[in-house]
Structures are given as structure tokens and as C-alpha cells.
Structure 1
Amino acid sequence: MEVATKEIEVRYAETDQMGVVYHANYLVWMEVGRTALIKQLGFNYAELEKEGVISPVLDIQVSYKKPLRYGETAKIDTWIEAYDGLKVIYGYEIYTGEGGLAVTGQSTHVCVKKENFRPISIKRKYPDWHNAYEKAKKKVSV
């Protein structure tokens, strides 16, 4: 399983009245993690969009464990939890600067044609991406 790691300094604007990171900002950081993983695998999501293909979120799950605060550095680990040639489930863990687990999550995506939102097979249309995702995804123990 391949993991991409990205660090983000928590900015004041990302915190709420309680002084902790506002919950929706973790979704933005997950996107940063996905982009980093895709880049680490040798691809570019912006290039996919230029070809008229987008990858909307079908489902997202987030579990908040420990708050992050302004001035801390968040570490986002991202990997491919599951992949079947059409649908991708990314896994996330976000850590505090001291290494405490702050957030866990998963997001489910499918690639679609931008013009009509019809799903496309990554396996058929982008065999290089497919092969990279197959190699990088989490291995299931039997």
C-alpha cells in the first residue's frame, strides 16, 4: 500500500470560535491529500479534467478524534483503501504535530464524463492509472 504524506500549517482562518480547526476544513485537507497521492503515483488530476473527466465525491465519512489548533502542523496521510476499476475509496488519517490521531476518514469517488455525468471505466480508458492504482491500493488479507 502506497501512502502520500502532506503537511499543512493550521492557519487562523481555518479555526472556529473555540480555537480549533473548523470541521469542514478537514475535507479540504483530504482533497490536498488525494492530489498529493495522485501526483506521487505520477498523474495529474488537472490533466484529467482537461480531457472532460471529473471525479465527484459519492460518499464521505469523517471521524473526529482530537482537535487541531492554530499554529500547529497537521500531517495528512492518504492512500487507496479500495479500488475496483470504476470506483475509488481513499483513506485518510490526519495527525497533530505531536503525532496524535486527529481525524480518520474515507471518501468514495467515481470518474464521470463532465458533459453528462456518465461513469467511465478507469480500467478501460486510463490503463496506466488503473495499473498504478492496483499496485498502490491497500492489500486485503485473506
Structure 2
Amino acid sequence: MLVSTKEIEVRYAETDQMGVVYHANYLIWMEVGRTTLIQDLGFNYAEMEKDGIISPVMDIQISYKKPLRYGEKATVKTWIDEYDGLRVSYGYEILTMDGELAVTAVSKHVCVKKENFRPVIIRKLYPDWHAAYENAKKQ
């Protein structure tokens, strides 16, 4: 399977009163990871949105293992966990500078028409994306 990697520098504004990354910021980093994966596959999510198609989150499962702090660097690893031509689940690992596991997560998405939120079938509307996602699962 293809795994994309993105390094994130932990900014002071991303930390809480305890000095660790505030839990919701990991969701933002996961979005950065998804965007990187899509770019690594040769596509651009913003172009899909111009077509009136969006990909809302249906579900997120996240497990916090080890805190990250200001001044540290995190590595976000992202891959396609499941894909069926309609729905896609992305898997994530966020690692500390020492390579220790800080977070594991899975987010589930479906592509819909922006105007009415009716699902669209990726394999029909975007056959190139479909082929790339199928290939990325197999790598």
C-alpha cells in the first residue's frame, strides 16, 4: 500500500495549557495528510470541489498514545485503509521525532454533490481517481 508522509512542526498555538498538542489539532494534521496523499497520487482535492463535489467526514476513530509538544516535529503517515468505489477510509499514524507512535486514526469519507449532499460514485464520476485508489491499496 502507498503511504504518504508529511512532517509537521508543532507550533505554540497548537498546544494547550498542559503544553501538549491540543487533541483537535490532530484532526487538522490528518487533513494535511489526506491532502498530501491525494497530491502524491497526482490529484488535487480543490479541483474536485470546483466540480461541486465535496468529501465530508462520516466518522473518525482516533487513539492518543503519546503527547507531542511545542518545538517538536511530528510525522504524519497516511494511506488508503479501505475503498469501495463510493466510500474511502484513510488510515493515519502520527509519530514523534523519535519515531514513537503518538496517534493512530481512521477517518471515513464519502463524496457528495455540494448542492444536495447526495452521494456520487467515485469510480464512475472520476475513473482516474478510482484507478489510482485501487492501485494505492495494492502497493
Q: Please, what TM-score do these two structures have when normalized by structure 1?
A: 0.96
Contiguous gaps of at least 5 residues in structure 2: none
- Residue 11 of structure 1 corresponds to which residue in structure 2? 11
Preserved CA contact (<8 Å) 1:81 1:138: no
Task: Give, in whole Å, the separation in 2 of the partners of 1:114 and 1:39.
Answer: 22
Q: Which runs of 4+ in 1 moved over 4 A?
A: none
CA distance in 1, matches of 2:75, 2:138: 20
Aligned-partner Cα distance in 2 for 1:88–1:138: 15
Query: 1:98-142 CA deviation, whole Å, 9 max, x = no partner?
Result: 111000000000000000000000000100000000010268xxx
TM-score (norm 2): 0.99
Query: What does residue range 118-129 of structure 1 map to in structure 2 within 5 Å?
Result: 118-129=118-129
| Superposed counterparts of 1:1-142, under 5 Å | 1-137=1-137
For 1:46, give the aligned amino acid. A
Supply the distance in 1 between the matched residues of 2:114 and 2:18 (Cα, whole angstroms).
39
Gaps of 5+ in 1: none
Letter of the structure 1 residue corresponding to residue 136 of structure 2:
A
The one-letter code of the counterpart of 1:60 is: I
Q: What code does the residue aligned with 2:99 have?
A: G
RMSD, aligned CA: 0.8
Distance in 2, matches of 1:50 and 1:110, equals 17
Matched-pair contact (CA < 8 Å) for 1:80–1:138: no
Identity %, equivalent residues: 76
DSSP-derived class of the 1:137 partner: helix
Name the aligned partner's letter for residue 122 of structure 1. Answer: I
Q: For the Cα contact (< 8 Å) 1:79–1:138, is it kept in 2?
A: no
